[in-house]
Amino acid sequence: MNNGMKRREFLTTSALAAGGLMLGVGAASAGTGKMTGYAEVDQDLFKGINRVANPAEKTPLEKKHAPVIEAPDQVKAGEPFAVTLKVGEIAHPMGPSHYIQYVELLAGNEPAGRAEFHPGLSVAKATFFLILDKPVTLVAREYCNLHGLWESRKDLALA
């Protein structure tokens, strides 16, 4: 057996051992059923759209996640107006491990705007300008990487 053959055998054995080690780590993580690298979170938050249960008694989680819609109660048909979305009533963290990924605005069922945010750089706040020809319900949604999708609504009337 020459040195070239021994080197090839060593490299093959090393690669197989490293692959097995990586699979072993993955299996251990999968076996626990827990997300690694994140704080413990209620996984039920990811099963659907979260909304404030009782507006008179919001929980700290709701205050931090339910989008706040800043818009007039009444607008004039055909005239532009501003709608500002922010997250949330208590400012939400925007660090690398916990942040708001986006906010989006719908006028009834129609998409009206969307803003993506960058952790460590962005503030979870965006302003959109709309023009309406009929009364609508504004729907604001935001997505938190740890606490899922949240929604708020506000009815708009025409003056």
List interacting residues with Fe ion (CB under 5 A): 144, 146-147
Shortest Cβ 56–Fe ion spacing (Å):
22
Shortest Cβ 108–Fe ion spacing (Å):
27
The smaller minimum CB distance to Fe ion, of residues 69 and 149, is found at 149
Shortest Cβ 139–Fe ion spacing (Å):
20
CA distances from 128 to 42, 59, 138, 153 (A): 32, 28, 12, 15
**Residue nearest to Fe ion as judged by C-beta position:** 144
Shortest Cβ 77–Fe ion spacing (Å):
37
The smaller minimum CB distance to Fe ion, of residues 123 and 131, is found at 123
What is d(CA 107, CA 114) in angstroms, rounded to the nearest whole number?
A: 12
Q: Please give the helix or strand (H or E) that residue 156 lies within, else none.
A: strand 148-158
The pair of three-digit structure tokens given for residue 153, joined into one six-digit string: 């609504």
The smaller minimum CB distance to Fe ion, of residues 144 and 156, is found at 144
The smaller minimum CB distance to Fe ion, of residues 86 and 147, is found at 147
Let me know: does 132 contact 158? Beta carbons within 8 Å. yes
What is d(CA 116, CA 122) in angstroms, rounded to the nearest whole number?
A: 9
Let me know: does 75 contact 120? Beta carbons within 8 Å. no
